[in-house]
Amino acid sequence: MSAAPAIVARVNRLRASLEEHNYNYYVLDRPEIPDAEYDRMFRELQDIEREYPRLVTPASPTQRVGAAPASGFAQVTHRTPMLSLNNAFEDDEVFAFDRRVCEALGRAAVDYAAEPKFDGLAVSLTYERGVLVTGATRGDGASGEDVTANLRTVHAIPLRLRTQEAPEVIDVRGEVVMTKANFERLNARQREQGERLFANPRNAAAGSLRQLDPRITATRGLSFFAYGIGGTTGHPLATHAELMDWLAELGFSVTHERQVVQGVDGMLDYFRRMTEKRARLPFDIDGVVYKVNELAAHNTLGFVSRAPRFAIAHKFAAEEALTVVEDIAVQVGRTGALTPVACLKPVFVGGVTVTHATLHNEDEVVRKDIRIGDTVVVRRAGDVIPEVVRSLPELRPAHAHSFALPQHCPVCGSDVRKLEDEAIARCVAGLYCPAQRKQALRHFASRHALDIEGLGDKTVELLVERELVRTPADLYQLKAADLAQLEGLAEKSAGNLVAAIEKSKHTTFERFIYALGIRNVGEATARDLARYFGSMERLQAADVEALQEVPDVGPVVAQSIAGFFGEPHNRDVIAQLTAAGVRFAEAAAGRPRATSAVYGKTFVLTGALPHLTRDEAQQRLRDRGAKVTGSVSKKTDFVVAGADPGSKHDKARELGITILDEAGLLKLLEGGGT
């Protein structure tokens, strides 16, 4: 049944009025009408939408009450990665950060936007033409869980932006938090119902946002504070402070504690004031964040690893407590690292009960003189990972005794080795060790290794947990019937995966080396090893001295390689892979000849080439002795530009670097031998 124009107009007025009152109440904390009047309008809108279901939209205030329970969360790929921040725990680290920024920008002093670091759950909100369409958790930074239905229940998140000039698309980044008052009310309710209590507001917020039933999330009283954007199609702004003001205009809660400060003195003064004010704030914070205020400087400073160079988190001093080390166990991580872990007499630290704490490595245990039976100081480093800070020898009992790291892996019994200049000891049975099994399989199947399409993380976990696969060689024994039994794999998907595994049998020597997951051997080193030795037989037979003859292979990398091939379990798996039909072309040992026109030159590729893929172009260059990097600098010799080349093309022009199209690249490649 279609609604009359008068009904549609009434619905629009009710929605606009309710959203205005939501904004006044949840964002501005200035309610203008009694709760009873708000409830009356809300019920009227609900009644109309029940009578005219076609009028219901995702942006309606009634949709905040929560939808039906979900069976799980889908994955969302962030259009712009959600990066983490590097941490500073001491003033000296803040001084070092400021010095790096000033030197990089060529300035004597820099203005910073300082704001609290919320202790909650980071999320990204995507708005299209002003309407919320997707909300996702940070996840691994590249992708997160789709929690849109749950985020719609958070009243501080606008379902529609408060502007008539909304960008076509905008990703708003911020933190979902639970106020201290709502946390106390939630735990009181949990206690009354005999349910488990939450340890702290952060855990409560994270648990509430990840409920499969959004109706539960709607009852938890979550809040949201915006602190930035991941990307937008308009509204150029000059400073982070202007960005925060703009987000407030769009209808988001932004912290009133933010301030622009100058230099390191301003940052440290802000940190001291927030430390004093921390207990009086309505929400938990675990530090403060400093960001270079000038947005244009962000592009200049860039990023390092998974963190920006233009921002840093200054964390509060961690909470500490005394307890007793009852034992020291050894954990084997997914990369084979052996980590001693203190088994502690339970102690309450930083809002949680701690029973285990990392001891990092054997050298740290010796340096801190930590023994089984000792009384120790435990700290939640960065308010996250419990660690043993120091022992108290004056309280040491007579029965206390020292710890020694085992010489063989406690999981698989293989050799444990500690490379020169490394503090961490590792199990060398990378392809065989059960503790490393999932990681080894994921790496083996990854795009730049054997590129097994369809073998994702979930499938790897199921294959390992069902004991269908113990080493990469077992993949080649799988049948479609085996895979079809796994959750999430239908008959067609199982058949496709078997076909992808079969296809992966035909690869290259360098990909095969990289797929083995040898410590410290990335794609470039794998390529150099393949060129230098030419065959697996010669590579496996090489000792540390011979390995160091390979360009850019030093003693640490050489020890990693020799240790890997010296482990019988790894050689067995390689033999099994060969027996299963994995093949790659071997070649005479050697290296590219200096007669190549591109030998020793540095190239950067940008944009889409008309005929060559990015991988193909890189491979041809590297086969002829060229170096391919990801960023343009004064050391770059050539930039190869295709369609939509972006900022790398502009920077090359600014620096006067030769720019080639695909035809120019091919002509250059043909200009010399290999």
Q: Which residues are catalytic?
A: 117
Distance (Å, whole) CA 506 – CA 527: 17
- CA angle, 598 then 600 then 604, to 5°: 70
- CA angle, 495 then 497 then 498, to 5°: 65
Instruction: Find, among 173, 179, 174, the residue nearest to 205 by Cα.
Output: 179
Beta strands in 382-474 (DSSP E): 385-391, 416-417, 426-427
- Residue 381's DSSP bridge partners are 385
Phi-psi label, residue 519: left if phi above 0, alpha if psi -120 to 50, beta otherwise: beta
Structure tokens at 432: 């065989």
**Treating both helix axes as pointing N-terminal to C-terminal, what angle do 35-51 and 5-22 enclose, rounded to 10 degrees?**
140
**Treating both helix axes as pointing N-terminal to C-terminal, what angle do 568-579 and 555-566 enclose, rounded to 10 degrees?**
70
Q: Phi first, then psi: what are they for 43, rounded to 5°?
A: -65, -35
Structure tokens at 37: 């009047």
On whether the CB atoms of residues 222 and 177 are closer than 8 A, the answer is yes
CA 352 to chain centroid, in Å, comes to 24
Structure tokens at 347: 């102690």
Structure tokens at 348: 């309450």
Query: For the stretch 52-70, what's the b/e string if a residue is b when 16 or more beta carbons lie within 10 angstroms of its beta carbon?
Result: beebbeebbbbbbebbeee
Distance (Å, whole) CA 18 – CA 160: 12
**Treating both helix axes as pointing N-terminal to C-terminal, what angle do 263-277 and 91-105 enclose, rounded to 10 degrees?**
140
- CA angle, 188 then 346 then 389, to 5°: 115
* DSSP structure class, residue 2: P
**To which H or E segment does residue 458 belong?**
helix 457-465
Q: Phi first, then psi: what are they for 622, rounded to 5°?
A: -65, -35
On whether the CB atoms of residues 498 and 482 are closer than 8 A, the answer is no
Instruction: Find, among 149, 147, 120, the residue nearest to 136 by Cα.
Output: 147
Query: For the stretch 330-368, what's the b/e string if a residue is b when 16 or more beta carbons lie within 10 angstroms of its beta carbon?
Result: bebeebbbbbbbbebeebebbbeebeebbbbbbeebeeb
